[in-house]
């Protein structure tokens, strides 16, 4: 086994066939040899958190660079060890976020920060979806422009190509008036509204928010970012296709199959998006 393979998968157990020399302890993290050449690698918690926060920072820059967020929008990641906590940037433009700007928030929407900094008023999108969806570890909220028309018309956003099969057959639309009445500012600025949005999302990967934007969820930062980017791509393609004829959408089975395929290749576009984003906004 290549050492690089081991290092890129913290907290995993790799089983080796007999006769192979197990890797030795080296600086930076601890390797524990169990038995029969099994290897358990344990990173110090702080290193793991640092890496996660760095990934979240990169995700902010990618989403900005790919046109999913602008001065508004946000991405979060569930805390890997503290129950009912997640990380999200302080209230600022995503493209400018750095590691020092990442705050810890709980599921009540309370920020735990010694400097008493504030995060986004719409952090309840994240807290309530994390609460409702234990399978989800990262959430993107954006106002990406091509998606908006599908939240305000009878035209539903549906998967038009193999890169966006994750949309499935349904992209639910959240109607804030059902909870907030007819005079709200359309922001998800309370637990009550966050809960109702999470309820609309249900088990879907994307929910549109009428007259506002969308929310995209994933089991990892990379998956949530991929889905947010390709939700916008799909919307753009669907708008273009509507101009020239009747659209043949993916079937439910095709959507499911292509979503599974895309999940196998998240690292490839991530590497490109990261390189582009850091070269311009690093
Ligand atoms: Zn918003």
**229-253: per-residue pLDDT in tens?**
999 999 999 999 999 999 999 999 9
Q: How confident is the model at residue 282 (pLDDT cuts 50, 70, 90)?
A: confident
Segment 74-85 shows an average pLDDT of: 97
Residue-wise pLDDT tens digits, 115-169: 999 999 999 999 999 999 999 999 999 999 999 999 999 999 999 999 999 999 8
Q: 88 alpha carbon to ligand 1 midpoint, in Å?
A: 14
- The answer to whether residue 122 is catalytic is yes
Instruction: For residue 250, give the 3-state DSSP assignment.
Output: coil
How far CA 261 is from CA of 44, 169, 207, 257, 273, in Å, comes to: 33, 17, 22, 6, 19
CATH topology of domain 46-281: L-fuculose-1-phosphate Aldolase (3.40.225)
Integer Cα distance of 204 and 170 in angstroms = 8
Integer Cα distance of 166 and 217 in angstroms = 10
Q: 31 alpha carbon to ligand 1 midpoint, in Å?
A: 44
Segment 60-73 shows an average pLDDT of: 98
Q: 107 alpha carbon to ligand 1 midpoint, in Å?
A: 18
Give residue 45's pLDDT: 65
Q: Which of 55, 66, 122, 232 is catalytic?
A: 122
- Express the helix, strand and coil content of the chain in percent, nearest 5 each: 45, 20, 40
Residue-wise pLDDT tens digits, 2-39: 333 333 333 333 333 333 344 444 444 444 444 443 34
* Segments making up each domain of the chain, as ranges: 3-43, 46-281
Q: 151 alpha carbon to ligand 1 midpoint, in Å?
A: 13
């Amino acid at each position: 086994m290549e050492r690089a393979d081991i290092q890129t998968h913290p907290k995993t157990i790799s089983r080796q066939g007999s006769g192979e020399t197990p890797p030795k302890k080296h600086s930076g993290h601890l390797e524990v040899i169990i038995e029969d050449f099994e290897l358990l690698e344990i990173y110090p918690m702080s290193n793991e958190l640092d890496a996660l926060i760095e990934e979240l920072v990169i995700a902010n820059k990618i989403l900005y660079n790919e046109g999913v967020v602008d001065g508004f929008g946000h991405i979060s990641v569930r805390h890997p060890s503290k129950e009912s906590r997640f990380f999200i940037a302080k209230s600022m433009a995503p493209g400018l976020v750095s590691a020092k700007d990442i705050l810890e928030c709980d599921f009540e929407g309370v920020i735990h920060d010694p400097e008493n900094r504030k995060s986004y008023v719409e952090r309840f999108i994240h807290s309530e979806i994390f609460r409702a969806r234990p399978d989800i570890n990262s959430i993107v909220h954006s106002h990406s422009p091509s998606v908006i028309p599908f939240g305000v018309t009878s035209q539903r956003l549906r998967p038009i190509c193999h890169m966006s099969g994750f949309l499935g057959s349904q992209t639910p639309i959240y109607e804030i008036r059902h909870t907030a009445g007819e005079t709200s500012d359309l922001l998800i600025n309370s637990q009550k509204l966050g809960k109702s949005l999470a309820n609309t999302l249900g088990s879907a990967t994307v929910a549109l928010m009428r007259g506002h934007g969308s929310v995209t969820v994933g089991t990892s930062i990379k998956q949530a970012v991929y889905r947010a980017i390709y939700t916008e791509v799909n919307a753009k393609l669907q708008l273009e296709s509507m101009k020239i004829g009747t659209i043949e959408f993916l079937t439910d089975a095709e959507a499911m199959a292509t979503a599974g395929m895309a999940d196998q290749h998240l690292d490839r576009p991530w590497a490109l998006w990261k390189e582009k984003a850091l070269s311009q906004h690093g």
